[in-house]
Structure formats: structure tokens, C-alpha cells
Amino acid sequence: MRSQLKTHALGLLAIALAVFVRWLLDPVMGDTLPLVTLFGGVAIAVWLGGYRLAVPAALLGYGACHYLFIEPRGHFDLGSSTNVVGLVAYLFTCSLIIAIGEVARSAQRRTTESREIFRVALRSIGDAVITTDNEGRITYMNEVGESLTGWSHEEALNQPLERVFQIVNEATRDPVQNPAERALREGVVVGLANHTVLLRKDGTECSIDDSAAPIRDESGEVFGCVLIFRDVTAQRQVERDKASQLDAARLLASIIETSNDAIIAKSLEGVIQSWNEAAERLFGYTAEEAVGRHISLVIPPERLSEEDQIIASLRAGRRIEHFETERVRSDGQRIIVSLTISPIKDDSGNVVGASKIVRDVTDRKRAERERQNFVTVVEESTDFIGMCDTNGIPFFVNRAGLEMVGLDSIEEARRTPVAEFFFPEDQGRILNEFFPKILEDGHGEIEIRFRHFKTGKARWMAYKVSALTDADNKPIGFATVSQDVTERKRLSDNLARLAADLSETDRRKNEFLATLAHELRNPLAPMSNMLEVVKRSEGDPQLLKQAHDTIERQLDQMVRLVDDLLDLSRITHDRLELRRTEVELSEVIQQAVEVARPLIDAAGHDLTIDLPDEPIYLNADRTRLAQVFGNLLNNSCKYTKPNGTISLSAKRLDSEVLVTVRDNGAGIPQDKLERIFDMFMQVDRSAERSQSGLGIGLTLVKRLTEMHGGSIEANSGGAGEGSEFVVRLPVLSRPTFAPQPAPKAEVETQRRILIVDDNRDSADSLAMLLELTGNKTFMAHDGIEAVEAIEKHRPEVVLLDIGLPKLDGHEVCRRVREQPWGKNIVVIALTGWGQDDDRRRSQEAGFNGHLVKPVDYDKLLDLLSTLTNGGNIKA
């Protein structure tokens, strides 16, 4: 509306201007052509506002000019014909001007409209458009062109096209000929080369595609060119994507075919749709055989339910990864496989099938099992198994190994260099000698101590090490399988010690045998001398008495030696039995002193005895205990120079009694004290110092004491400082009765006695003795003779040797016992065999008693006296 008012105002202004111009010209023109300037104003008015403005403007202008310039001026006079003609001519002329103006206006309007349509079309076309004149200068560029080239319309206007529109080949980057040039030159439509890139003003680029066409005028002359192009970057990308998808699909197909894994596609119903070569190899069915069949073809019957679960997962769109199961080949063989199953979806995302990747893991599983077995063996091994790198840093130690060295975990072991497994003094040898040697030889072995990290204790190990190498035989570490040989080493050490002990014992035994021979021969010389004296004494009572005493003493000495030997044998074979009763200590000591007294007196020793006032009762074998103290007193006597001092004292301490035998004699060197109780042990065997003895007395003493539940220790200040032996024995707190000394046999009754011995001297001398005490004796010298003599003489007592010619003593006794007259005869074995076993055998054969040669005559009399009671005799 506003612009319409303005147009009208301008139209009226043009008329007014025309009137004004006429007025200015009036002095020149006078009354001629009063309306002449109005035609220009009307033309302007019609141009501006069309006939609607031009008609009123023409009428207004006429009115004004009529009034001002037509005679009579200042009046409207249409009465004159001149004026009417003038008016008609004026109106005719104005009509023409208005008609022409209207035509021009509508042509102008059409042009503007079509130009606007063209402009809008170009703008909205979506493609970039550039027009040039025939010299290639840009005359127009639409907005899309602006955005693609980076040039604004104003900047681009009149610029040479190749400046604004720079194009290069996408791949080679070489400039591409501008299509507009050719279009202008040849007047043809030119398409762009493929893969053309437009370089923008800012240096960025975009792929474009389009063409150029010449613009011709009505005469067909080319006067410009239009270039139309578009951004095809996205399209190119799509093409590229498609191409690469195609490549990928091809690649995928070849991967599937060449894959070592079986790849199978199947429908949701389980029908096999594709089956690659690996599937053929794995399952033994060709693709032709498998495709179209149900997947249960390769599923073992007991695993068919698995398939339902798989399908259910797939339907839910879930992928199944590394599912290990069993499948079956065409030949029936079972294989262990790992399945990865993915759903196949159609374009709308619906699951329509599944792709299966099947890998045969049978070998891997077997290898895993074998590896597991291996690990179990290593872990369960009681040997130390470990590995370390070449820097001696462990990376594996088995459980037993960790325990052996007191480490809690493999991590702890990894922080502990191998060198620390050894004692500092051994580390140099291991690191500088042993390991380098292993690297040279490949393996090695050494016996070495491992250190326990917690207790610090040593463990002897048979340390066997091998070098670990890589594929190029380059050493990468060490491995060891080592055994704990601590026990074996201890045993072998013990064995070595034992061997040394044995050889020492053997040496002592040999010495003992020499001593024994010496000790047995010793009494024989005076005895044979004295027998010679008896022969030549011619009844001299003085000489006879002297000879008798000497022989008796020497015989006693020999008997004691043999008794000791027998006791020792019994003790070492555990065959010595104690006959324990309640005994009173002072009585035992008295008995021991009685035994030792002759020796003590002979050496002129001073013996003091100090016993508690209160009686001390022991559960003991009186004879054996007396033997203990008797031996100790004898030793003190033997190893103390004449006129020495010997003391025996007893002291009660709670539940035990300490009996101490002390002397001021030779003493015992400190280094011998510990072994003084060992068998055959003698401190000094040199001829000068040697006293009678076999080196077994103290062994007997110790064993007998221990058999009584006691102990013994030896003390001495050293050689020449005297000795002290302390015996500890448990005491009875409350005795049940006061034991009485055994009554001594007094009876000397006359008896009929048969003596059977193949040693005639032995038989004769015994017969003489028995005759001297008023008995009647008979003799036999072999078994048969013995049986006959018993039958003939019917003796009351038979003293029967066991080792007899023709029939041994056991058999003689058995035969006698078989006879009615033989049942009540007292048969006593008289033999050199005195072991418990010998006694048992004689008892089984029917003997009433068992005496060991040489017979103590008092003992024999004792025995004979007990026969009045008719009981068996033990001796």
C-alpha cells in the first residue's frame, strides 16, 4: 500500500513537473503548444502506475495547463472549437501514450516474473549453477554454487570461471579441463569427467558431478555458458561403501571357504543351509550331503536337547560363545568341539537363522588333560621341582618344594633369588661353579644343603639341574627335580658311624679274645703246678693244704670268668631273667661285700660302709644286685694300689636310692668315662697295669642295673684321681613283708647216686667227693650204659651229663621216665650248657634239676637236701 501511494505521488509529481517545465518555457513558447510537456509526465505516470495513475494524471495536467497556458489564461473555456480540438488531440495522444505504456509495462512485468521464476528455480534447484559470458567470466552463481565454491556471488561476479571453479582429478590430483571452456568453444554440452574434485576457496574439497552447456541467443550465437554441478561426496561415499562391502563380502566368502574352522549356517528349524570345506573335513559329510539336512546329523543322541536350548537363545537374539560340547562325525567318531553361534537377522531385525563356527578342540582338550596331568604330577610330587631364569629368579616351585624351604607361596618364591636357597658358604660354589657348568654340559647334579627360610635348618638335597633352552638352543633358565636326601644322608652317616663302631667293637672283641685266652690260661699254670706239688708232696699236710688253696682260688677265678661270659651272652640275647622279690638293700650289700672281702683283705684296702639306719626295700633279684655291687667293689679293689681306701655308701632320695662305690685308685681319664660301660672296654691293657678281667664287668653292671629300672654313672677326676660309681635304683615305698635270708642247707644224708659222664676224671672226682660225704655212688660213661645202670642199681639220684656218646642225656632221661621204676628217681642235669633254653629243654625231657659245670659242691649239697621235699630244683 505504501509503495502504491508512493507510486501515485511520483506520478502526480511527474505531471506537476511537466506543468512546471511548461511554465518555465512559457516566456519562450508563449501560447503555442501549451500541453506539450504533459505527454512526458503522462508517459512517466503510466510507466510508474499504469493507466490507473496515468488517466487522472493526464486529466489533472490538462486542467492545470488549460488554466495556465491556454487563452484565455486563468479560465476554463471549452467553448472554443480550437480548445475542443486541442483537447481531443491531447486525449488521443495521451491514450496512445497510455496504451503503449501499458503494453510496455506488462512486457516488463512478464520479464521480471520469468526472471524471478528463473532465479527462484535456480536457487531451489539444489544444484550449483554458474553462468558465464562468452569470455568465460562469471555472470551468475546461485547460493548452492556459493556454498560449494566458497565464493560469494559478489566475489565471483566477473571472475574468470577457472579461478572460482577449480577442479582436479580425485586420484591423480591433476587439474581437469574446465567443461565450460569446451562448451563455449565447441558449443556442445559437456559432461564432467568422473572422480572430479572441486577445490573450495578455503582449500577444502568436495566431490562434484555435472555438466556445462552453452547459452545461445535468438540467432543461435553462443554468448555464454551455464555450468551445473552438485556435491556428490555422500554419493561417492555410498559408492565407496558399497564397493568395500562388496570386497568384504568376497573376502568373507573366501575366508569362510578357506577357514580351518567349520562354518555352518542353519535355519531356526535347524536345517543346514551352508557347509564350508572345513565342515566337510571336520564332520566327514560333503556340502551336498549336509545342506538341507537337520543339524542333528552331527549331534550325538544324548545331546539333542542342547540344540533346543541353543535355538531358544538364538530366538532371543543372544549369541553363544565358546560352548564346548561333543559332536559326532560321519564315521561315528566322537569329537570335542567349541561352538560359537550367532543369530542371523533379516533387514527388519528378525532372527531367521544361525551361523555356527565349530572348532575341533579334541587335540587341545587332550593336550590340556595331559598338561593337567603333568601339572598334577609336578604338584603332587614329593620332590622339589622348580624353574628359574638365567638370572636365578624362580618362576615356578611346586608345593613340595615350597614346603621344603619354608616359603608360603609361589609369589614369595618369585621374590627370592635362587642363591638364597643355599647357605652363604655354599652360594659361591653354586653360582660360580655349578651353574656355569650346567650351561656348558646341559645338566648336572650335586649334593648340597637347602636352607629352610623359616627355621634356618639345613636339608640335604640331591640337587639335579638341567638347562632350559629356547628353540634356538639359547639358554633361558634352569630346571630342577631334586630329592630330599637328609634322611638317606643321616642313615649313611649313621651307617658309617656304625661301621666305625663295629670295627671298633671288632677290634675290642679281638683284644677281648686275646685277653680271654690269657685270663683262662693264667689260672691253669698255678693249678698244674700245684697238682705236680701234690704228686710229689708225699702226704705233707702243709704242702697239700697250700696246693688245695691255690687250686681252689684259681678255680674260683676261672668259674667267675666263665659265669661272667655266660651272663653277658644271656644279657646280649635278652635271655637273662631276673627273679625279683622284695629284698632289703643292706642284705644285698652284705652279700656283695662277702664276695669281695677276700680280695679286699688280700690287698690291704680299707673298706668303709655307710648305710642309712632305715631299711630300704627294693623289688630286685638279690643275687644279680649283689653281683652289681660285688663287681664295683672288685673293680675298686683291682684298680686301687694296695692299702687304698674304698667306700660304699647308700642314700635315699625320694623314691630312689643312690649307692656310691668310691675309691682312691687309678681313676678313669675323662675321655674314657663316657664309654667305660661299653663291652670289652678297658682303659689300659698294658701288661704292667693289666688286672685280671675281660672288660665286660661294667657292661654287666650297667645292664643289670637298667633291668632293675635304675641307672649308673661313673665319675672320676682323671687318671690317678680315684673313681666313683653311682647306682640309682627305685625303692619300694611299702614292703609287703620283710624278706628273710634263704636258709642254708645243712643236710648231709647218705644216698645212692649214679654219676653219668663220658669224662672219666670228672666222674671219678665227683664220685670221690660224694663218697667223702657218705654217699654210695655208681658210674656210667655213655647213654646206653646209663640206662642199664639205672635199671640195675635203681639209684635215688642220677647226676646225668647231657652230651653223652650213644644216647644223649635228654633221651636217657626220657627212657627212664617211661619205666614204672623210673618215675620217682631224681635226675639232675650236670652240663656245660647253662642257657635258659638249655634249662627249658632239660625240664621238658623230665629232669628234676639243672646244674652247670663245674659244679659248686655247696650248691650240689643244697640241691640234694631239697630233694627230701620231692620238689623240682632250679639252679
Q: Site for ligand ADP (CB under 6 A): which residue of 34, 693, 809, 846?
A: 693
Minimum CB–partner distance for residue 697 and ligand ADP (Å): 3
Minimum CB–partner distance for residue 582 and ligand ADP (Å): 29
Minimum CB–partner distance for residue 549 and ligand ADP (Å): 24
Say how far apart CA 627 and CA 638 lie, in whole Å: 16
Minimum CB–partner distance for residue 714 and ligand ADP (Å): 8
Report 703-742 residues binding ligand ADP (CB under 6 A): 723
Minimum CB–partner distance for residue 722 and ligand ADP (Å): 7
| Contact call for residues 554 and 523 (beta carbons, < 8 A) | yes
Minimum CB–partner distance for residue 611 and ligand ADP (Å): 20
Q: Site for ligand ADP (CB under 6 A): which residue of 357, 698, 789, 860?
A: 698
Amino acid at the residue 196: T
Nearer to ligand ADP, 634 or 842 (CB): 634
Give me Rg for the CA atoms of the chain.
Answer: 73
Q: Where are the beta strands (DSSP E) in 470-515?
A: 475-484
Nearer to ligand ADP, 459 or 703 (CB): 703
Nearest CA among 482, 478, 437, 444 for reference residue 462: 482
Chain centroid to CA 262: 37
Q: Site for ligand ADP (CB under 6 A): which residue of 681, 754, 797, 825?
A: 681
Nearer to ligand ADP, 458 or 562 (CB): 562
Minimum CB–partner distance for residue 523 and ligand ADP (Å): 15
Nearer to ligand ADP, 135 or 501 (CB): 501
Q: Is 136 exposed, middle or buried (0-12, 13-18, 19+ CB in 10 A)?
A: buried
At residue 100, φ and ψ (nearest 5 deg) are -60, -40
Other C-beta atoms closer than 10 Å to the C-beta of 263 total 20
Minimum CB–partner distance for residue 608 and ligand ADP (Å): 15
Say how far apart CA 483 and CA 127 lie, in whole Å: 89
Q: Is 762 exposed, middle or buried (0-12, 13-18, 19+ CB in 10 A)?
A: middle
* CA contacts within 13 A on the Cβ side of 647: 11
Site membership for ligand ADP, residue 695 (CB under 6 A): yes
Q: Is 721 exposed, middle or buried (0-12, 13-18, 19+ CB in 10 A)?
A: middle
| Contact call for residues 11 and 45 (beta carbons, < 8 A) | yes
Cell of 435: 651353574
Site membership for ligand ADP, residue 676 (CB under 6 A): yes
Minimum CB–partner distance for residue 646 and ligand ADP (Å): 9
Nearer to ligand ADP, 212 or 637 (CB): 637
H helix intervals, 732-759: none
3-class DSSP state of 825: coil
Nearer to ligand ADP, 403 or 519 (CB): 519
Minimum CB–partner distance for residue 725 and ligand ADP (Å): 7
Report 127-166 residues binding ligand ADP (CB under 6 A): none
Residues 639-668 as x/- pattern, contact with ligand ADP by CB under 6 A:
x-----------------------x-xxxx
Q: What is the DSSP letter of 855?
A: P
Minimum CB–partner distance for residue 599 and ligand ADP (Å): 12
Nearer to ligand ADP, 353 or 665 (CB): 665
3-class DSSP state of 70: coil
| Contact call for residues 476 and 390 (beta carbons, < 8 A) | yes
Chain centroid to CA 792: 92
Q: Which stretch binds ligand ADP (CB under 6 A): 40-48, 221-229, 357-365, 690-698?
A: 690-698
Cα separation values, 64 from 32, 57, 69, 582, 698, Å: 16, 10, 8, 184, 181
Residues 611-640 as x/- pattern, contact with ligand ADP by CB under 6 A:
------------------------xx--x-
Collect contacts of 322-328 with beta carbons under 8 A, ≥24 apart: 324/361, 324/365, 326/300, 327/283, 327/298, 327/299, 327/300, 327/358, 328/298, 328/299, 328/300
Site size toward ligand ADP, by CB under 6 A: 21
Minimum CB–partner distance for residue 636 and ligand ADP (Å): 4
Nearest CA among 785, 731, 697, 333 for reference residue 515: 697
Report 222-261 residues binding ligand ADP (CB under 6 A): none
Minimum CB–partner distance for residue 710 and ligand ADP (Å): 18
Nearer to ligand ADP, 328 or 681 (CB): 681
Nearer to ligand ADP, 41 or 697 (CB): 697
Nearer to ligand ADP, 632 or 754 (CB): 632
Cell of 776: 654210695
Nearer to ligand ADP, 130 or 668 (CB): 668
Nearest CA among 128, 151, 132, 148 for reference residue 140: 132
Nearer to ligand ADP, 416 or 699 (CB): 699
Other C-beta atoms closer than 10 Å to the C-beta of 272 total 22
Site membership for ligand ADP, residue 682 (CB under 6 A): yes
Q: Which residue is nearest to ligand ADP (CB)?
A: 693
Say how far apart CA 493 and CA 497 lie, in whole Å: 6
Q: Which stretch binds ligand ADP (CB under 6 A): 86-94, 307-315, 452-460, 679-687?
A: 679-687
Q: Which stretch binds ligand ADP (CB under 6 A): 391-399, 419-427, 622-630, 696-704?
A: 696-704
Minimum CB–partner distance for residue 555 and ligand ADP (Å): 18
Site membership for ligand ADP, residue 694 (CB under 6 A): yes
| Contact call for residues 261 and 241 (beta carbons, < 8 A) | no
Chain centroid to CA 722: 65
Nearer to ligand ADP, 579 or 689 (CB): 689
Minimum CB–partner distance for residue 786 and ligand ADP (Å): 39
Which stretch of DSSP H or E encloses residue 272?
strand 272-275
Q: Which stretch binds ligand ADP (CB under 6 A): 335-343, 429-437, 534-542, 676-684?
A: 676-684
Nearer to ligand ADP, 262 or 681 (CB): 681
Residue ranges binding ligand ADP (CB under 6 A): 635-636, 639, 663, 665-668, 676, 681-684, 693-699, 723
